[in-house]
Amino acid sequence: MRLGYQQFCLTGVLRVRSPDFKRLKLYIRIDQNKIFLAKKYTLKDLAQELNISISTVSKALNNSAEISEETQRKVLALAQLYHYRPNSTALRLRERRSNHIGVVLPDLVHHFFTTVFKGIEEYANARGFNVSVCFSDDSSQKEQDAINLLMDSGVDGIILSLAGETQQLKRWEYLQEITAQGTPVVMFDRATDQVLGDQVMIDDVQSAYKATQKLIEWGRSSIALLTTESYLSVNQDRQSGYQKALNDSSLSYDPARVLALPKSEVDPEALRQFFTDCPVDAVLCVNELIAVQAMHVVSSLGKRIPEDVAFIGYNNGMLSKYSYPSLTVVDQQGYLMGEKSAEVLIDKILSKTPLDTNKYVIPTTLVERDSTPNT
Amino acid sequence: MRLGYQQFCLTGVLRVRSPDFKRLKLYIRIDQNKIFLAKKYTLKDLAQELNISISTVSKALNNSAEISEETQRKVLALAQLYHYRPNSTALRLRERRSNHIGVVLPDLVHHFFTTVFKGIEEYANARGFNVSVCFSDDSSQKEQDAINLLMDSGVDGIILSLAGETQQLKRWEYLQEITAQGTPVVMFDRATDQVLGDQVMIDDVQSAYKATQKLIEWGRSSIALLTTESYLSVNQDRQSGYQKALNDSSLSYDPARVLALPKSEVDPEALRQFFTDCPVDAVLCVNELIAVQAMHVVSSLGKRIPEDVAFIGYNNGMLSKYSYPSLTVVDQQGYLMGEKSAEVLIDKILSKTPLDTNKYVIPTTLVERDSTPNT
DNA sequence: TTGTACGCGTTATCAT
DNA sequence: ATGATAACGCGTACAA
């Protein structure tokens, strides 16, 4: 075996000597002229090699005061040599805890969910938790499948934003089932009081109210709302806020100025029709996707943004930032929502307190860009 | 206990009778006037309730021919009543397999990774695998941490796209370590031959070559390349393809027409400077983010797109689709890459064949939009 | 100070 | 047809 010429992989068993271990067995693999261990070692392996019992090894590794310094030194040395890492599956079985949480998202198309997820992931990782994700694609059935897959895989808790269909059909038995078994659930952005779990929300009514009010302050008097057809509590709340702001001002709410678009694909013709029939000087959109497309249509109708028509959207994503003109948005601070959701869930998992419902409200901010007048 | 008036949660033990089970113990919880099980049941619970042994229950549930129809019927009935689901952690420990894969992504900012991830997730779920994700943020250290976290959690294999820093520093010992232990690794988009694992790639040289050629066919003669400073094999390959296409045509490669931007934030002033100093009639960009920003700058310089300057980018994401004008892009078909990566990994996990390196090339397509002339 | 025995939930092998 | 036992890897109460 001439290492110098070794080009590819090679595995074997090496017997070496060292002061602590008279004769040590090493499963190795040689790859790219470097030596790596070819095996995951267990307590048993360590115990056998050192001729002591498994429990002694275990105690030594866990800094038990019972173990002599000498023994501990040997154990730690060998563990390091072997790159010993406890088998987490065995630990899970024992502790009945997996340090693993599941996340169910409606999609990743909307930048909002991407940022929430990032927040969850980073916070959870920092606390040593793994994160598994599934998507519901806003389908109730897929949401249920996802939750089953996650639960079967043994997660300690679940963070989710309800699928649109679930909110519409009010079918959340499968969520009540898992909370009944004591698995904590945190809902963000789209939640229901019917499920026993914490909620991390933004104040959608309030944020839409303030955005609309802002448009009014800028002297806009005929303000449209572009929303989605599908039943989503958040969009309904935003509509309420919009309506309330109008009613609280000298203006009045006019249903003709509200356009509900199908969720799937936006038809530019529908937008063109709407803006032709109903001339407005400001538009509030429930997400950035709709906003950007509406801006294109309005531009193509020869109107200037923001001089003739001002736009405010939701979701502080790529589209808002890089659209032309760049879009003023209500930032839901997804990253914060994600962090908070993960924090609430992990705290509940670790504290093992009885499940209950707490509502956390994440503040929104208005990010002003070029689609609204300078202030 | 008057159910009719019950508003909130209540737990307790119920003793019921049924033909099969003389006296059945049910841990229940009443929530929103519905009854749910309050416990995860195990084989032991079933066995105790039926007064038979655990192994008989196990066999009955696994359709063993050894078990009498009568017994099996009873077991299945109770299992259904109890909503029995095998404890996956225990199974993992036994099978030494977790049906769980880990994914490490540089980020979710680029739509490309989002779609790859979606492909991975859907394919893996369809085959009953869970997916845990971590992000490297293009940092080598974070990548290593992520891999350790995933490996410690007991994933059966890992899919990753190398962090930029990792490719730059050529530090992949931690990857070689896990393949040495027999854990399969699949690299997509950003890979290295130094790690023993499969690669799912697009032909970056070829795709850039063809995109550039297309621009030449459209009669463009001074074609710029906007790339990133950071060392990324894909961007280097794209530059090679760009260069080759120029050299293969009557045009020639001019380094002054190549601008390498810092990865973090694009400075519009740098772009303005570049396009002022170096008038071009076409631009190839290594991603859509750069492309969209460059288009804004070029527009603001009074040039028309695509008449004066044509643009082709990479990544068929939201930005390309909804930018103005919409951007022609090389579509890397991230979803397909994700699916393929997951397929290759899961096949390797299940087949338990020795690790090796296979390269799979996913075809690219050119999605023509308004930033290039009609053909 | 060290070792033995047990249990976490499951399946497979080997009695009965 | 059914049951006892061992094993997967770990930690810990208890015995030596």
Residue A24 φ/ψ, nearest 5 degrees: -110, 135
**Interchain CB contact of B83 with A (< 8 Å):** yes
Q: Is A89 close to B89, i.e. CB distance below 8 A?
A: yes
Q: State the fold for domain B204-331.
A: Rossmann fold (3.40.50)
Half-sphere exposure of A368 (CA within 13 A, CB side): 9
Facing A296 at nearest CB: one of B31, B132, B324: B324
pLDDT value at residue B230: 76
pLDDT band at residue A2 using 50, 70 and 90 as cut-offs: very low
CB within 8 Å of A331: residues ≥ 6 apart: A315, A316, A364, A365, A366, A367
The three-class DSSP label of residue B27 is: strand
pTM over 0.75: yes
pLDDT value at residue A55: 95
- Mean pLDDT score of chain A, rounded to an integer? 92
A125 touches strand C (CB under 7 A): no
Best residue of A89, A104, A147, A321 to probe chain B, by most B CBs closer than 10 Å: A89
Half-sphere exposure of B254 (CA within 13 A, CB side): 12
**Interchain CB contact of A242 with B (< 8 Å):** no
pLDDT value at residue B337: 98
Q: State the fold for domain A101-201+334-362.
A: Rossmann fold (3.40.50)
Instruction: Please state which of the four CATH numbers 3.40.430.10, 3.40.50.10420, 1.10.260.40, 3.40.50.300 is assigned to the domain occupying A5-92.
Output: 1.10.260.40
Tell me the C-alpha distance between A262 and B343, whole Å: 34
- Chain C nucleotides covered by protein, CB below 7 Å: 1-5, 7-13
Domains B5-92 and B204-331 share a fold: no
> Across-strand partners of B15?
B25
Q: Is B132 close to A134, i.e. CB distance below 8 A?
A: no
A55 touches strand C (CB under 7 A): yes
Q: What is the pLDDT of residues A217-253, one digit of tens each?
A: 999 999 999 999 877 889 999 999 999 999 999 899 9
Please report, for residues A137, A174, B230, B338, the alpha-carbon distance to residue A141 in angstroms, rounded to integers and kept in the order given.
10, 10, 43, 23
B87 touches strand C (CB under 7 A): yes
A54 touches strand C (CB under 7 A): yes
Nucleic strand D contact set for B 214-253 (CB, < 7 Å): none
CB A186 within 8 A of CB A197: yes
Residue in A with minimal Cα distance to B181: A38
**Interchain CB contact of B292 with A (< 8 Å):** yes
> Across-strand partners of B100?
B130
Residues on chain B touching A158 (C-beta within 8 angstroms): none
**Interchain CB contact of A266 with B (< 8 Å):** no
A56 touches strand C (CB under 7 A): yes
pLDDT value at residue B116: 97
Residues on chain A touching B318 (C-beta within 8 angstroms): 109, 111, 289, 317-319
Sort strands B365-367 and B185-188 into parallel, antiparallel or unpaired. Answer: unpaired
The three-class DSSP label of residue B201 is: strand
Please report, for residues B210, B231, B257, the alpha-carbon distance to residue B240 in angstroms, rounded to integers and kept in the order given.
12, 14, 14
pLDDT band at residue A195 using 50, 70 and 90 as cut-offs: very high
Half-sphere exposure of A104 (CA within 13 A, CB side): 32
CA-based diameter of chain A, in Å?
91
Give B249 to chain A, closest Cα distance, Å. Answer: 34
Q: Residue A54 CA to C6 C1' — how many Å?
A: 14
Give, as one character, the DSSP assignment of residue A264: S
Give A300 to chain B, closest Cα distance, Å. Answer: 11
Residue nearest to nucleotide C12 (CA to C1'): B55
| SS3 of chain A: helix, strand, coil, percent, to 5 | 45, 20, 40
Is residue B134 classed exposed, middle or buried when 0-12, 13-18 and 19+ CB atoms within 10 A define those classes? Answer: buried
B70 touches strand D (CB under 7 A): yes
**Interchain CB contact of B130 with A (< 8 Å):** yes
B68 touches strand D (CB under 7 A): yes
Give B114 to chain A, closest Cα distance, Å. Answer: 7
Q: pLDDT below 50 — which residues of chain B? A: 1-7
Dihedral sign (CA B108, B111, B116, B120): positive
Q: Choose among B317, B322, B331, B302: nearest CA to B370.
A: B322
CB A361 within 8 A of CB A203: yes
**Quick count: other Cβ atoms within 10 Å of Cβ B243?**
20
pLDDT band at residue A19 using 50, 70 and 90 as cut-offs: low
Q: Choose among B123, B99, B14: nearest CA to B342.
A: B123
Facing A32 at nearest CB: one of B34, B176, B293: B176
Q: Where are the domains of chain A?
A: 5-92, 101-201+334-362, 204-331
Facing B36 at nearest CB: one of A125, A152, A176: A176
pLDDT value at residue A17: 67
